[in-house]
């Protein structure tokens, strides 16, 4: 899915690709501050039996590996084709909501508000893989049910390796303070409360206090063992929103405003 989304993004942004940047953290094969560009080795993906690695310069297009996606295949993989596919799959028309709810979500300029939870945490916070579950409303106290709870908005997974037996450090030398991040969309869950009348709109004046009272998070290991929120102090969950001007037809993409921060729920 990531590969497919990136292939579509490339068609929408034909002048952009890999921008040379210094590495932020130490990894298995790179050092912090080492410049990474289109010619950097994409370890551990070997190109041949001689030990050569693929580089970004050699894999600009998926056709290098003999495949393409429905949205990017053929001779008509134009920007308009990809835009139409995105709107059909993920645009307003792909979200089944009632007419009354639709009217509450939009103003006269056809603008909606999108809500997102941003997650940021140390990758090796507990030296084991773990889940961050976000809920809107009450939820079952049994951690084994959280992945299927009706009020679960979304789950973010942090995949890590444990401490090295030799160096007693993550991944045999990686930076133990390395941060990772993720996002969980909140809009669809909030829309349910607009539809049933608990919220007047998706505007910050209504949604911010509602999320402050009802948005919660919990942490579990892969075996459903709960980890206390206070035991992962590096975890930060912040709520942001953006005004989004909806397209007038399938040839245009939505236009997003800058994100605005509203609250921190890291202690919820």
Strands, E assignment, the chain: 21-22, 35-36, 41-46, 53-55, 111-122, 130-136, 152-158, 179-185, 215-221, 226-227, 236-245, 255-256, 260-264
Q: Which of 50, 85, 120 represents a domain boundary (last residue)?
A: 85
pLDDT the model gives residue 33: 87
pLDDT at 103: 45
Residues of the chain with pLDDT under 70: 74-77, 92-109, 161-173, 267-268
pLDDT at position 24:
83
- Residues 128 and 161: their CA atoms lie apart, in Å, by 6
Domain that holds residue 8: 2-85
Residues 75 and 179 occupy one common structural domain: no
67, 103: one domain: no
Residues 81 and 193 in one domain: no
Residue 73: C-alpha distances to residues 67, 79, 124, 199 (Å): 8, 12, 40, 43
Here the tokens at position 143 are 């951690």
Residue 183 belongs to domain with CATH number: 2.60.310.20
């Amino acid at each position: 899915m990531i590969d497919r989304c990136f292939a579509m993004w490339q068609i929408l942004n034909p002048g952009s690709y890999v921008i040379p940047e210094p590495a932020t953290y130490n990894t298995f094969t790179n050092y912090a501050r080492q410049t990474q560009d289109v010619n950097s080795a994409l370890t551990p993906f070997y190109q041949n039996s001689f030990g050569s690695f693929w580089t970004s310069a050699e894999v600009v297009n998926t056709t290098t590996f003999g495949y393409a996606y429905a949205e990017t295949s053929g001779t008509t993989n134009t920007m308009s084709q990809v835009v139409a596919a995105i709107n059909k799959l993920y645009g307003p028309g792909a979200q089944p909501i009632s007419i009354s709810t639709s009217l509450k979500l939009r103003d006269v300029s056809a603008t909606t508000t999108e809500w997102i939870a941003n997650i940021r945490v140390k990758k090796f916070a507990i030296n084991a893989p773990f889940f961050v579950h976000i809920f809107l409303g009450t939820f079952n106290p049994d951690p084994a049910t959280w992945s299927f709870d009706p009020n679960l908005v979304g789950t973010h997974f942090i995949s890590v390796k444990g401490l090295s037996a030799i160096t007693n450090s993550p991944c045999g030398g990686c930076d133990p303070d390395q941060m990772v991040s993720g996002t969980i969309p909140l809009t669809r869950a909030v829309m349910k409360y607009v539809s049933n009348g608990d919220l007047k709109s998706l505007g910050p004046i209504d949604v911010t206090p509602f999320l402050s009272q009802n948005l919660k998070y919990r942490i579990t290991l892969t075996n459903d063992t709960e980890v206390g929120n206070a035991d992962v102090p590096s975890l930060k969950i912040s709520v942001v929103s953006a005004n989004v001007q909806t397209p007038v037809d399938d040839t245009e993409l939505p236009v997003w405003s800058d994100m605005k921060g509203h609250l921190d729920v890291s202690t919820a």
